[in-house]
Chain A
Amino acid sequence: MSSETTTGATDPSQSTVERLHVAGLHAPGDAVLSVRDLNVRFNTENGVVHAVRGIDFDLLPGRTLGIVGESGSGKSVTSLAIMGLLAPTAEVTGSVRLKGRELLGLSDKAMCEYRGNELAMVFQDPLSSLTPVFTVGTQIIEALTIHNPTMSKKAKEARAVELLAMVGIPSPKDRLKAFPHEFSGGMRQRVMIAIAIANNPRVLIADEPTTALDVTIQAQVLEVLHKAQEETGAAVVMITHDLGVVAGMADDIMVMYAGKPVETGAVDHIYYNPRMPYTMGLLGAVPRVDVAEKSSLVPIEGMPPNLLQAPTGCSFAPRCPLASDACLDGEPALAPVADDGLHRAACIKSDSLGGTVDVHDVFAAPPVPVSRFDAIPRAERATVLQLTDVRKHFPLTRGALIKRRIGTVKAVDGLSFDIREGECFSIVGESGSGKTTTLLEIMEFHPDQDGEVVIGGLSNKQAADAKTKGKMRRELQMVFQDPTGALDPRFTVYEVLAEPLQNAGMDRAAIKKRIMELMKLVGLQPDHVNRFPNQFSGGQRQRIGIARALAVNPKLVVLDEPVSALDVSVQAGVINLLDQLRAELGLSYLLVAHDLSVVRHISNRVAVMYLGKIVEIGAVDRVFDNPRHPYTRALLSAIPVPDPHLERTRERIILQGDLPSPLQAPKGCNFATRCPVFAALPPAKQEKCLTLEPLLEAAAPSAAVQVLQQAPVPVPDQQFACFYPDGEIDEDMLVVHEPADHLAP
């Protein structure tokens, strides 16, 4: 440490010379970071894994490069290789130059001078990325101390406060003394950003910075990153699997597949004119939250190759619908696409793609399935699940021996809704809003529950004996979030699927027949029944989970985040399967998901939950296109859309703060503390929000509309709990990015 200090302090002349040298080599405005032919190999027990295979890019100051790819594509390894943070056993070759200085081959000690100084990084999981035993202030100040040993203690503290304020942490001075566990996930990610920008880095690498966060918090953190970039003028490398997240931020995009860039170019080229089938597939696989039109998603069949053997042909060829024999003959290099030199794609057919080619034709997306129930009006269909005023309150107690009740957590507070045959009903909301508790209450089947749950005509009030419970359970089955954790690793698929059937009292022959049916139904090969779950990919495991749920022919399937653990290309296949099963078998779904795009794609009706209450409910297109409750509006506006033009220009509502703790739940409207409409109301009207609780009511069509239409307008399927729907949004919470820095006319 001290030796580095002296070199830095006693050799100012040399660093000036070096700087001049660099300036001579690179004209002003030239790349701050240039990567050439970066290769990373890991020695594993199975052989050498070639995780990154030849990456080139130049990053200009103030610009943002988005690196997009699925898990295992080598994007995180690339970022760690640039930072020099890979394990010493990793073999890294090529060149990484930061402002002209070569970083590869530097010792750990020599790299320390750059890391956290000119080169900084924000990691994926904010919960584990901060040291739990040091205060946030200590950790920020440490970053300052390392690179500014002469800075006074006072100056460092002032800078830390300034940084915390910059990333939007309220009362930063007091929060310096707080420990990481006293912050929420979003707040911790802000602290991570504060640490990263502490020394005004020239290059900031963000590795999936918002993947672990709720959408509203994601919007906040992306906003902070945007601001941090503006303040520091740093070049940003944004690594993500979510094409929506980078659409609004990135200037350039690099799509990675199997450790190699397969398409690079300006953001508009990639999103509007992709020339590589993989990019097209990725874009087609993402459902859109802003589009009502129903079309099937584009699934990409198969799995990414393992990188133990060098591919002999195009690495995407085995999954590519356009692959021909020529594709297997040598791996195509990145080549400029005909109409633009900066747009490059690694595909021998790139010239025939682009423009008017529709991704749905290329990937043969299945037709939109039509259910027999679609033609019947909702009111005439039978009710599958009915909840009436369901409540779940947890007492909050203090004291070891004698417990005092100091409050109540209203996890679910008076929930009523119903699900009809053949429909998909979704519940959305931030974590902590009570979605999972609602599911647990539905699965409880206990007469003492607060409120009534009726499943296929059987009420929980009658469920005193095991027989009724068993009947109810057969009507309703569940698919879980994590397909790996939900399957017993010691059970073959046959055993997994046979278990519910045995419980239902089926004989062996019938079970065998049913299992073969199920395997075909969910798109798995029936001869794979004797394999174990670990021999399947994530998407296939989720299909097994779905098959298990369908085994006993339930009327209603409860889907708890069924695709959130899957990669986008795999996710599309599972969503299509769910859609198809619903139509073919006449199933009803109760879906809980945090990804609103998925919800919009698959659901018929949706309920938005906030702190245990439904704040808005109705037909999915109605709610998504015309949200009335300010929370729904904020939630929808927080979702990034994979459309660069739209992302840059649209205004978004950035909610302040996190979900309040249930103890602080306000007396009137739950949402008042964060409400963007409430903030803009005059005090006289605010009073109503603070004292009265708004009830869930349908909007009466306004008188003007009634007169115009002459005939009575049918009441739309939408209810919300707000006194001032469609109110003015407070200006502080409304963000529109300046279009100037991105959109040249």
Chain B
Amino acid sequence: MLKYLAKRGITYVVMIFLTTSAGYFLAVSSLKPALLEQERIPRPTPEQVANSMRLKGLDPDLSPWERYVDWLTGIITRWDWGRSPNGAYINAEFGDRVWISTRLFLASIILTLVIGVALGVYSAARQYKFQDRVITSYSYLAYIVPAPIAYFLVQLGAININESVGDRIFFVTGISTPGVAPGWPQFADLMAHYVVPTVAITLVGWGAYQIAQRQYLLDNVNADFVRTARAKGLSRNQAIARHALRVSFIPVAQSIAFTIPAIFAGGFFAEKIFAWPGVGSWSIDAISLQDVNAATATLAYGSVIFALGAILADFATTLVDPRVRVQ
């Protein structure tokens, strides 16, 4: 297993290097931060702009290849991912933003999975009954409604609650209120900020897992091996719980492992709407701000997390399916 992981790891490192390098070349040849500087008032002279860029290691006069070599040397020798046109250091910014994204999504991902899979099993066991129809219809609805609209609806709901109570219970945007006393008040403030985005992301997210889990389980409830289990003396529900569930979880486990990283890296709708400045919104902002180094860094982060997801998916499959052997 370890040998296999090492082998896969090396393959992914090579792939990440290639995508990131290609991304850097693309960014460096299409993003021109110097142009944005020109719009400042008072308008700086081209010499001033070039000088300030050169100081930040973003010299527009160098060829893309020279800038690439500089950038790569910085990463390899000092683990320095460069600076933004506004002078910020990517390394510092990056750490903050990853932490914010992780905080925003961690709880809702866990809730999404648990609720989605549990409801999938519940509705499969009651196929075509009232509960199944309600749950599955909801899931399809959540599938269809665009995520931003669903997030706005949840925000509106939270505002309604605040208004009807007459007090501000939930914050619908932001991470925390500055200047709150540490300890219990700070924790309460964090929670008040945390509830709305978590509920919104969870409500939208579980539908996919519910539909998948329900479908895979239904494919298996009438399988021959479930009949064998019943012939051994298990009741129908016991046989499904012990034999069909595990088999039906194999494809779900794989899809879970693949979607977790995608959410971490690409949740820019949620980050924008709830005003949590994480990695997702940074990657979009970087492009509009002509920020070569930030754009490349978010790309690198995305590919690393995708590689982790792929390894996680392999790992999850071998864990639940003995037929898959790692070699």
Contact = CB atoms under 8 A, between A and B. Distances in A.
Q: Decide whether A and B assemble into one complex.
A: yes
B32 interface: no
A115 B225 contact: no
Contacts of A113: 233
Interface in A176-197: 179, 181, 192, 195-196
A129 interface: yes
Interface stretch (B111-119, B158-166, B265-273, B316-324): B316-324
Contacts of A83: 231
SS class, residues of chain B in contact with chain A: helix
B231 A121 contact: yes
B30 to A, nearest CB: 34
A680 interface: no
Given A1-B238, A128-B223, A128-B225, A133 B233 contact: no
Contacts of A146: 232-234
B234 A130 contact: no
Contacts of A114: 233
Contact of B323 (A85, A117, A121, A181): A181
Nearest to A179: B322
A132 interface: yes
A133 B234 CA distance: 17
A133 B231 contact: no
Nearest to B237: A108
SS class, residues of chain A in contact with chain B: loop
B225 A130 contact: yes
A112 B234 contact: yes
Contacts of B230: 85, 115
Interface in B211-242: 223-225, 227-236, 238, 242
A398 B242 CA distance: 36
A132 B231 contact: no
B192 interface: no
Contact of A142 (B7, B232, B246): B232
A147 B233 contact: yes
Contacts of A398: 327
Contacts, number: 78
A143 B233 contact: yes
Contact of A129 (B228, B247, B323): B228
A85 B231 contact: yes
A435 B247 CA distance: 34
Interface string B1-17: 00000010000000000
Contacts of B231: 83, 85, 115-116, 120-121, 123, 196
A110 to B, nearest CB: 9
A293 B238 CA distance: 56
Contacts of B232: 115-116, 142-143, 146, 195
A123 B323 contact: no
Contact of B235 (A108, A121, A129, A134): A108
Contacts of B246: 131, 133-134
B315 to A, nearest CB: 16
Nearest to A114: B233
Contacts of B242: 142
Nearest to B244: A131
A123 B231 CA distance: 10
Contacts of B238: 1
A85 B235 contact: no
B223 to A, nearest CB: 7
Max chain B C-beta neighbours (<10 A), residue from A109, A113, A134, A135 = A134
A131 B227 contact: no
Nearest to A192: B228
A447 to B, nearest CB: 37
A495 interface: no
Contacts of A131: 225, 228-229, 243, 246-247
Interface residues of B, number: 25
A162 interface: no
A626 B230 CA distance: 48
Interface string B130-159: 000000000000000000000000000000
A687 B182 CA distance: 88
A7 to B, nearest CB: 14
Contacts of A400: 7
B224 A125 contact: yes
B280 to A, nearest CB: 34
Nearest to B226: A131
Interface in A96-128: 108-109, 112-117, 120-121, 123, 125, 128
Max chain A C-beta neighbours (<10 A), residue from B223, B228, B246, B250 = B228
A131 B225 CA distance: 5
Interface string A143-157: 100110000000000
A127 B7 CA distance: 33
B233 A129 contact: no
Nearest to B225: A131
Contacts of B327: 398
B225 A129 contact: yes
Given A133-B247, A179-B322, A85 B227 contact: yes
Contacts of A115: 230-233
Contacts of B224: 123, 125, 128-129
A113 B238 CA distance: 14
Nearest to A83: B231
A123 B224 CA distance: 8
Given A133-B320, A179-B323, A181-B323, A112 B228 contact: no
Interface string A396-430: 00101000000000000000000000000000000
Given A128-B223, A143-B233, A146-B233, A133 B228 contact: no
Given A108-B235, A108-B236, A116-B233, A133 B321 contact: yes
Contacts of A142: 229, 232, 234, 242
Interface in A153-185: 179, 181
Contacts of B321: 132-133
Interface in B50-103: none
Given A131-B247, A133-B322, A117 B233 contact: yes
Max chain A C-beta neighbours (<10 A), residue from B235, B238, B327 = B235
Interface in B293-327: 320-323, 327
Nearest to A121: B231
Contacts of A120: 231
A596 B234 CA distance: 40
Nearest to A120: B231
B227 A112 contact: no
Max chain A C-beta neighbours (<10 A), residue from B227, B233, B235, B320 = B233
7 contacts: A116-B233, A123-B224, A123-B231, A129-B224, A132-B321, A133-B323, A179-B323
Interface of B: 7, 223-225, 227-236, 238, 242-243, 246-247, 250, 320-323, 327
Given A120-B231, A146-B234, 6 more contacts: A85-B231, A116-B233, A123-B224, A129-B227, A133-B246, A133-B250
In order of increasing CB-CB distance, the 10 nearest A-B pairs are A116-B233, A116-B232, A128-B224, A146-B233, A131-B225, A143-B232, A129-B224, A121-B231, A131-B243, A115-B233
